[in-house]
Structure 1
Amino acid sequence: MSAVLAPWRGVSRTVWILAAARAINRIGAFSMGFLGVVLTVEFGASLATTGLVVALFGLATIPSRLLGGRLADRFGRRRTIVLGLTACAVAQFWIAASTTLWSAIVGAVLLGLAFEIYEPPTQATVADVTEPADRPAAYGLIGAAMAVAGVLAGLLAAAVSHWDLRWLFVADAITCLACAVLIIRALPADSPRVEQPARGMTVWRDRRLLLLLASGTVFATLYMELLIGVPLTLLDQGLPQSGTGIILAVSAVTFIAGQRLQPLRLDDFRAMSIGLTLLAAGLIVCAFAHTLVVFVLATILWSLGEMFLLTRYLTQAAGLAPDGSRAGYLAVFGLSWGVATTVAPLVVTRLLETTGPEGLWLINAAAAIMLAAVQPLLRRRLARA
């Protein structure tokens, strides 16, 4: 066990608490994968209506993240995390208790508006209590905890999904409240006087952040296309859908084990170039995979790449921000995931229809290689901006 935890021995107690809270919440978050099923099965929504509602949920997460960043910088990290988790629980109880489709739709939109509130203050807190050189390890711990919890979430989903599906939202709401209690009891209280953003500095005028946001959006889209496209590719290849669970488990194990191999003192942009190259290699293998064993090999490659990228992008975004605006900066940078969640399904389905799996993954690999090639330029532009 000590060997497994070695990369995070110097990480502060606060980060460990946040990692535990996020893992608990992630274990309960399996309900989100069933939102469309609940609307269709339990409330009789048409496929068109279900697709619209799920899209509205995704769009609502964008202002949710911005709100989380603003509240965290204005009123404190702990208060905002607790508010976001509690609001998620209320919305999930609303969906579970709904008796009409319209009520469930309102609950889904409210859940979207609450869903990302706790993300910016969580990421900002990690940066607040960690030295810049140690932030890749700290963010890696959060990512590892969520990866393990994601696998457990899939197992729980399989175990309880034969009940009334609305109970999934009850379970998720309970985990949100459990996280809120853990945060209240374990994290120190916010200081009475929360720092205000630096005078004259607005997030949207910082060209460095906008450049990083553009780069991060491309990566986030590639990441989301993997999550959406791999199950569809397995189906196209006639492989069992249980393979998706195996791939998720391999990805989580690779992410955790790879933390010991990651040179944390490596320059962020060089690390991101390495990560994008590994991601591209995994995508190329995926393009020509026809057996589950080869897909597992591809998974190991792209998961190692994601290990570099998820931690280093957050480290860079946190490092750009003035102390009083860190949550706001991370909230804006996090919009990359809202855009990716909206764009990725459209890209995956379109490319699968027109080019097949080979075309989908080779085009994605080309995008990853191009993004790796511009990392030195991005570093110089950020230094000049």
Structure 2
Amino acid sequence: MPRTVRLLLLARTVNRLGAFSLPFLTALICADHGASLTTAGLVSAAFGLATIPSRLVGGRLADRVGRRTTIVLGLCGCAVAQLAIAGSGSLTWVVASAILLGLAFELYEPPSQAIIGESVPERQRVRAFSLFSAALALGGMGAGLLAAVVGRWDLRWLFVIDAATCLACALLIRLALPHDRPARPGADPGDTLVRPLRDRALVGVLATGTAYALIHQQTVMTLPLALTRQGLPAADAGLLFTAAAATTVLAQPLIQLPRVRRLGTPLALSLAHLLLAAGLTGYALARTLPALLAAAVVWSLGDLLVMGRVYALVTDLAPPGGSGRYLAVFGTSWGVAATLAPVLGTQLLARAGATASWSTMAVLCLLLAALHLRATPRPPGHQHAAEAIHPRVPGTAQ
């Protein structure tokens, strides 16, 4: 991997070490401010809604101002908002701080992903994005353990530690990454052709990606609450997050197996969603911590396959100089999911219980597995023969 990518992975690992606070936002609102599940879900939804413009602005800034500057700006904004949540004395202050956090939260994702996608050859992108997921998971292993310990003491300290790691990551990025070289206004005559939402291939990937993100976010956001309904401490969610993160790191060699590398993108994503469905079924049936840990391992194997493939696919679809905006548009799937998941997840949990909630998401994963086989495009690199006859213009409709 290029030096820039390795330094970015190191910095984001540090950042991820403290990124365990969000799943506990609803628990903090309920425990410290006496809010209902519905209110807690709405606050989390407000955070998610704010991440949508954050992601789009991050993509625009990444392509216009520069990758490094945008990452540092986003991380510092997150730190300020996390400290505000930790010091909040009222529910109103928590809501305002959560919205501020959402507006800063996604700024640094498009430039981070664009750096990775543009720094490695096309044939290495799946591996590079898988390593990015592994780096985040490595930090997540420590994060889960810290959450399990600190969460039993005071949930507010989770947000303080998260803020500290954001600032540490921003410092590493500022000192280690090369200076930005923003494009001069009007320097790119093809810039007007970068219209992600007119690319039918990207829109299709965005649709399935949003469904996946909704399931993923609902799992993360409701897991602590679901555990309490099963008679286990909410802090045990930290152990499950750690098990999932450890699997993502240790399973990296599986991504490099020749048989796995030869899988087409549609088939790989279909297989990934079958694994996700199996993991969610395990959550529905499990009644002990060891069984839940086994389900988390299976879930994370599917998650690993999705993350490497889908971001490589989006980068491949983007025209030159437009990867930041393509990744930003695709990333809005996480904002939509973060908006809907807390509301849907808490309501489903409150009305139907944990078992029904996990079972519903497992069925949705099975439907997505079938859909990927029919609707997911292959990366452009697999379509050269077809494009020799009917060239595809990136960012335009077909």
Q: Normalization by structure 2: what TM-score?
A: 0.82
Contact preservation (8 Å) 2:68, 2:180: yes
The CA distance in 1 between the partners of 2:26 and 2:368, in whole Å, is 34
Match of 2:198 in 1: 205
Secondary structure in 1 aligned to 2:207? Answer: helix
Q: In structure 1, what is the equivalent of residue 69 of structure 2?
A: 79
In structure 2, relative to structure 1, the CA distance for the partners of 1:274 and 1:163 (3 Å cut) is closer
CA distance in 1: counterparts of 2:283 and 2:164, whole angstroms:
38
Q: Identity of paired residues, percent?
A: 47
The one-letter code matched in structure 1 to 2:281 is: I
Residues 230-257 of structure 1: CA deviation (Å, up to 9, x unaligned): 4444444434545433322221121112
> What letter matches 1:13 in structure 2?
R
Superposition CA RMSD, Å:
3.0
Amino acid at match of 1:287: A
Partners of 1:58 and 1:342 within 8 A in 2: yes
Deviations 1:55-102 (A, max 9, x none): 322211111111100111111111111121122233344555666765
Tell me the equivalent position of 1:6: none
Structure 1 counterpart of 2:196, one-letter code: V
Query: 1:343 corresponds to which residue?
Result: 340
Q: Could you report, residue by residue, the CA deviation over 1:350-381 in whole angstroms, capped at 9, with x for unpaired residues?
A: 44455544433333222212211122322459
Identify the residue that residue 360 of structure 1 maps to in structure 2. 357
Are the structure 2 counterparts of residues 346 and 295 from structure 1 closer, same or farther at C-alpha, using a change threshold of 3 Å? same
| Contact 1:237-1:290 within 8 A present in 2 as well | yes
2:330 is matched by which residue type in structure 1? Answer: F
Partner of 2:217: 224
| 2:373 matches 1:372 | no
The answer as to whether partners of 2:266 and 2:377 remain within 8 angstroms in 1 is no
CA distance in 1, matches of 2:233, 2:99: 34
Conserved? CA contact 1:137–1:264, under 8 Å: no
3-state secondary structure, aligned to 1:29: coil
Aligned residue in 2 for 1:299:
296
User: CA separation of 1:79/1:61 partners in 2, compared to 1, >3 Å: closer, same or farther?
Assistant: same
In structure 1, how many angstroms separate the alpha carbons of the residues matched to 2:207 and 2:365? 13
Matched, 1:185 2:175: yes
Partner residue of 2:389?
Answer: none
| Aligned partner letter, 1:293 | P
Aligned to 2:140: 150
The one-letter amino acid of 1:272's match is L
CA distance in 2, matches of 1:168, 1:212: 34
Alignment of 1:90-239 (within 5 A): 90-95=80-85, 105-160=95-150, 168-191=158-181, 193=183, 196=188, 198-239=191-232
Q: Give yes or no for contact 1:215–1:371 (8 Å, CA) kept in 2.
A: yes
Contact 1:225 1:345 (C-alpha < 8 Å) held by counterparts: yes
Residue 251 in structure 1 maps to residue 244 in structure 2: yes
Query: Could you tell me whether the CA contact under 8 Å between 2:48 and 2:336 is conserved in 1?
Result: no
Match of residue 264 from structure 2: 267
What letter corresponds to residue 249 of structure 2 in structure 1?
A: I
The answer as to 2:53 corresponding to 1:56 is: no
Pair 226,100 (structure 1): closer, same or farther in 2 beyond 3 Å: closer
| SS of alignment partner, residue 193 of structure 1 | coil
Q: Which amino acid aligns with 2:240?
A: I
For residues 240 and 152 of structure 2, the distance between their equivalents in structure 1, rounded to whole angstroms, comes to 23
Q: C-alpha deviations, 1:103-132, integer Å up to 9, x for none?
A: 554333222211110011001110010112
* Superposed displacement of residue 160, structure 1: 4.5
d(CA) in 1 for partners of 2:242, 2:28: 25
- Mean Cα displacement is larger for which, 106-115 or 208-217? 106-115
Structure 2 CA distance for aligned equivalents of residues 21 and 275 of structure 1: 28
Supply the distance in 2 between the matched residues of 1:333 and 1:15 (Cα, whole angstroms).
Answer: 21
Matched residues in 2 for 1:317 and 1:141: separation? 17
| Superposed CA offset, 1:226-284 (max 9, x none) | 22444444444434545433322221121112211123353222211111122222223
